[in-house]
Amino acid sequence: MKQIIQFMKRNYKFILPIILLAGILVSFNFRNQSDPEKDRELLQVLRYILSQAHYQPIAINDSFSEAVYHDFLDILDPTKHYFLQSDIDEFAHFKEDIDDQILRNDLTFFYTVFQRYEMRVDESKAYYKEILTKAIDISKDETYSVDYENATFPKNQAALIQVWQKQLKMRYLGRLYDKEQAEKDKATSDSTYTQRSFQTLEEEALDKTLESMDNLYDRLEELTRDDWFSYFINSIAAQFGPHTSYLDPKYKKRFDISMSGKLEGIGARLQKEGEYTKVTELISGGPAWRAGDLEVGDLIVKVAQGDGEPRDIVGMRLDDAIEYIKGKKGTEVRLTLKKVDGTTQTISIIRDVVELEETFIKSAVVEKSEKKYGIINLPKFYIDFDHKNYRNSATDMEKELKSLKDEGVSGILIDLRNNGGGSLKTAIEIAGMFIDKGPIVQVKFRGEKADIRYDTEKGEIWDGPLVLMVNELSASASEIFAAAMQDYKRAIIIGGKQTFGKGTVQNFYPLDRYSRSGKDLGFLKMTIQKFYRINGGSTQLKGVTPDVIVPSRYTYLEVGERDQEKPMEWDKIKPTEYHLWSVYDNYTESIQNSRNRVLENPQFQLIDNNAKWLKEGQDDKIVYLKYTEFKNDVKSREAEAKAFEALDDFSTNLTFNSLQYEKSLMEVDSILAKKRDVWHKNLTKDVYIDEALNILQELSVNSRVKLVKN
C-alpha cells in the first residue's frame, strides 16, 4: 500500500497558494534596472529568429498583439487580486498596438503595465497585514469562486479588499482544518494525549498564514525587473506554441539542472511551470518511484522536513525549492501536492541515494497458462552521444530480446507508459528489431520535403507476438515507436484514450550569437521540426490512439498536448511506401476480444467511474468559507473516495521473475534484488498488465507464413 501520511480528497480549489502567487513574483522599485538597449536588442533578435527559423511562424499583427496583451496580464495577475478594472481600462489601448511596438523595438507596454503592477503589489502588503492581524469570522455563510479565468477585475479598492479577505480566509481555513485533523489523529493514536483548544488552533492557523505571507513577500525582494521582463518576452514567445520559450542566462542554467541533472534525495526531475515546481520525471528505482505516491505532472506546493512545519514553495525559484526538497539519505521529507486529478495529497518520502542505473531498460518473465511471456519496461529512449561505447536503449533492448528468447518466451510485452521520449535514433533502431526493414518515421523541417528515416537492418530480432502498452504520458519518441508498430500492424497497442501528442522537435538557440553588442541575451527554445507517421499522419496533437482503449485516471483530465496553450495543429503529408507485417493469424480478432473483456471487466468499470469523479471534482470551483460547510465539503469528498478503495485491492495470481542473467547479479547485489522485488509486486497488482498479457496469450503467429517470410 502507498505510504500516505495524510490524504485529503479535496478539489484543487483548496490548493490555497495559487490565490497569491503567479502575480507575486515581482521586485519592488525596479531593483537592478536592466539595460534598455539590451532589452530592445533582445526583442529584435527574438523577433528575427522566430520569424526565420520557427517551424510554423505566425504573423505579428493585431490578433497577435491582443493575445500577448491578455497573456502578460494573466501572468502578472492570474487571480485578479492586484489590478483594478480602471487599470485594465487604461491599458486597453495597448491591445492592438503591441505588435507595432514589437516591430519598432518599443517597450512602452511593458514599462507602463509593470510600473502599475509594482504599485498595486506594494499596496497589497497593507491589505494582508491588516486582514491577518484580526480574528477571522469562520461562521459567516459565504462562498468564493476559484474560476479565475471567468472572473472580473474588482471595480474599486473596496471590492479589491473583499477579494483579498476571501482569498486569505480560504488559505486560513485550509490551515485550520489541517491542524484540527492533526489533533484528532494524535488523540486517536495516543490515548494520553490532551487535545489543544480550538481557539488555540485558530490562533496558530492565523499566525502561520501571516508568517507564510511575510515569507512570500520577503522573496519578492530577491527578484529583479529583469526577471519580469523575461516573463514579458515569454508572453511573446508563447504565441508560437507551448514548447517555444525564452530563458535568460541565469535561468538557462537552472533549466539544465532540472532537465538533465537528478534531484538528489528523492529521485525526481523538476522544472518550473508558472509559479509551481512540477514533477517532470521519476527516476526508476529511486525513493519517490519506490514509494509510489509521486506522479509525473504533480505540482509541489509545500515541503516539510520530517514532522516540521510545511513551507510554501509556490512562487519560489526552482533551485531554492530543490534545496528544501533534497537532503541526506535516510531523512524524511513531506511533500504537499496538487495532483494531476485536482486533489490535495501530502506524502512522505525517505530520501536515499538515487542511482541512474534504474533509468535503464529491465525485463521480467511471467508464466501464464503454461506458457512464458516476457515483459520489458522501457522508461525512456536513452543515449549518450559523448561516449559511443556507453550503453543506450537500443543496445540494451537487443540484449533483453535475445535473453528473453533464450528463456523461451512465447510473446513479448513492452511497457511504454510514462515514457516521455528521448533519442529518436534509438527509437528507430528499436522499431527495426521487430520488422524486416523499412521506414519508421518522417521528419520534416519548415518548407522542406519530409526526410524518411529507415530501419536498414534486414531481419527481426524478435518475430513473435508483440504488445505495446502506452498511456496519456507516453510522448515523443515513444509515440513514434508505437505509431510505427501500429502502422505495420506489427503490435497491438493497449492504453488510455491516446498518447500525449507531442509530435514536434525543439532546439536551443544561444541568442548572443546574433547580438551586435556582444551581450549575453540568453537562449530561445524553439520548435524546428515535426514528426509524421509512415502513414502520413502527424503524431502532433492526436498522438497514437491505441487499438484497445482502456480507462485510466487521466481519461477525462487535461494532461496532453491538446490541452496546452496554442498547440501546433495536426496535419497530414504524403504517406511513405511500406508493407504490412501480415504474419498474425488473429490480429483483428484479438483486438476485438480484448475490447470486449475491457467492457466487461469490473475493475476497468471502477477505474472509469473514478476518472469521472475526479473530473467532477476538478470542475467544482466553489469554496465554502463557512468553516462547518468547508469541513462538510472536504468530508463529503473523502466519503465518496471510499467507493474507489477497491482499486488498490486488485491482484493477479501471476508470479514475475527476473531473467537468468540478472538472477546471478542479484546474488551479489541485494539492492538490485530489493528493487526487482518491488517491481514484480507492482506488476502483480497491475490490471493493465493483466489485460495486456491476455492479448499476448491469444495473439498467434502463422508459422507457415512466417517460415516463407524468413
Question: Per-residue pLDDT tens for 592-626?
Answer: 999 999 999 999 999 999 999 988 888 899 999 99
pLDDT attached to residue 531: 97
pLDDT at residue 432 above 80? yes
pLDDT at 672 over 90: no
CA distances from 594 to 241, 465, 590 (A): 37, 15, 6
Q: Read off the DSSP letter of residue 107.
A: -
Q: Are residues 383 and 292 in the same domain?
A: no
Question: Highest mean pLDDT range out of 344-358, 510-524, 565-579, 662-676?
Answer: 565-579
d(CA 518, CA 38): 10
* More reliable by pLDDT, 170 or 35: 170
Q: Say which residues have a Cβ less than 8 Å from residue 259's Cβ, sequence separation at least 6.
A: 269, 271, 280
Q: What is the mean pLDDT of residues 40-66?
A: 95
313 in the same domain as 380: no
d(CA 298, CA 294): 7
Domain that holds residue 66: 19-240
Q: Is the pLDDT of residue 282 over 80?
A: no
Average pLDDT over residues 185-191: 89
**Domain identity same for 474 and 591:** yes
Q: In this predicted structure, which of 11-15, 264-268, 275-279, 531-535 has the lowest mean pLDDT?
A: 11-15
Q: Does residue 516 have a pLDDT over 90?
A: no
What pLDDT shows up at residue 33?
Answer: 54
Catalytic positions are 476, 487, 502
> Is residue 470 in a domain?
yes
The answer to whether residue 624 is domain-embedded is no
Q: Does the pLDDT of residue 239 top 70, yes or no? A: yes
The last residue of a domain, from among 304, 320, 350: 350
- Do 283 and 231 lie in one domain? The reply is no
Domain contains 332: yes
Is the domain of 516 the same as that of 540? yes
Mean of the per-residue pLDDT values of the chain? 87
Give the rounded percent of residues in the chain with a pLDDT score beyond 90.
62
Is residue 623 a part of any domain in this protein? no
Co-location of 170 and 41 in the same domain: yes
Q: What is the pLDDT of residue 166?
A: 96
Q: Residue 251 has what pLDDT?
A: 61
More confident residue, 434 or 307: 434
The answer to the question of residue 620 being in a domain is: no
| Average pLDDT of the residues in 287-310 | 85
Residue 314, in any domain of the structure: yes
Decide if pLDDT at 286 tops 70.
yes
Identify the domain boundary among 240, 275, 302: 240
Instruction: Answer yes or no: is pLDDT of 265 > 70.
Output: yes
* Residue, of 266 and 576, whose pLDDT is higher: 576
According to the model, what pLDDT value does residue 249 have? Answer: 77
Is the residue at 648 inside a domain?
A: no
Q: Which of 112-126, 262-276, 328-342, 487-501 has the lowest mean pLDDT?
A: 262-276
Claim to verify: residue 263 and residue 142 sit in the same structural domain: no
The region of weakest confidence among 165-174, 228-237, 256-265 is 256-265
The answer to the question of residue 638 being in a domain is no
On whether both 257 and 224 belong to a single domain, the answer is: no
- Residues 469 and 599 reside in one and the same domain: yes
**How high is the pLDDT of residue 19?**
30
Model pTM? Answer: 0.83
DSSP string, 630-686: HHHHHHHHHHHHGGGGGGGG---S--EE--HHHHHHHTT-HHHHHHHHHHHHHHHT-
Span between the terminal Cα atoms of the chain, in Å:
48
pLDDT(233) > 90: yes
The 3-state secondary structure of 444-481, one letter per residue: EECCCCCEEEEECCCCCCCCCCEEEEECCCCCCHHHHH
What pLDDT does residue 441 have? 98
Question: Could you tell me how far CA 132 lies from the centroid of its own chain?
Answer: 34
Kind of pairing, strands 268-273 and 332-338? Answer: unpaired
Band (pLDDT 50/70/90 cuts) for residue 330 is confident
- The band of 705, judged by pLDDT with boundaries at 50, 70 and 90, is low
Mark whether 301 and 406 lie in a shared domain.
Answer: no
More reliable by pLDDT, 379 or 494: 494
Residue 183 pLDDT > 60:
yes
Give the lowest-confidence range in 137-151, 338-352, 409-423, 661-675.
338-352
pLDDT digits (tens, 9 = 90+) for 76-107: 999 999 999 999 999 999 999 999 999 999 99
* Least confident among 43-47, 48-52, 345-349, 424-428: 345-349
Tell me which residue of 597, 539, 545 sits closest to 568, measured CA to CA: 539
On whether both 515 and 483 belong to a single domain, the answer is yes
As a whole number of angstroms, the distance between CA 158 and CA 32 comes to 33
Distance CA 63, CA 56 (A): 16
pLDDT at 13 over 60: no
Res. 386: pLDDT tops 70: no
User: Lowest mean pLDDT: which of 43-47, 166-170, 264-268, 573-577?
Assistant: 264-268
The pLDDT assigned to 162 comes to 96
* 463 confidence band (pLDDT: 50, 70, 90): very high
Residue 565: give its domain's CATH number: 3.90.226.10
How many residues are present in the chain? 710
pLDDT-derived band at 3 (thresholds 50, 70, 90) equals very low
Confidence category of residue 255, pLDDT binned at 50, 70, 90: very low
Spatial contact of 42 and 34, defined as CB atoms under 8 Å apart: no
Query: For residue 16, which amino acid is it?
Result: L
Per-residue model confidence (pLDDT) at position 224: 80
Going by the DSSP 8-state scheme, the letter that residue 263 receives in this structure is: B
As a whole number of angstroms, the distance between CA 84 and CA 338 comes to 29
Count of domains forming the chain: 3
Q: Give the per-residue pLDDT at 262.
A: 39
Residue pair 433/459 in contact (Cβ under 8 Å)? The answer is no
Mean pLDDT computed over 413-434: 95
pLDDT in the model for residue 341: 61
Q: Of 240, 266, 285, which residue sits at a domain end?
A: 240
Q: Within a 13 Å sphere around the CA of 101, how many CA atoms are in the beta-carbon half?
A: 22
Task: Judge whether residue 9 has pLDDT over 60.
Answer: no
Higher pLDDT, 639 or 221: 639
190 in the same domain as 217: yes
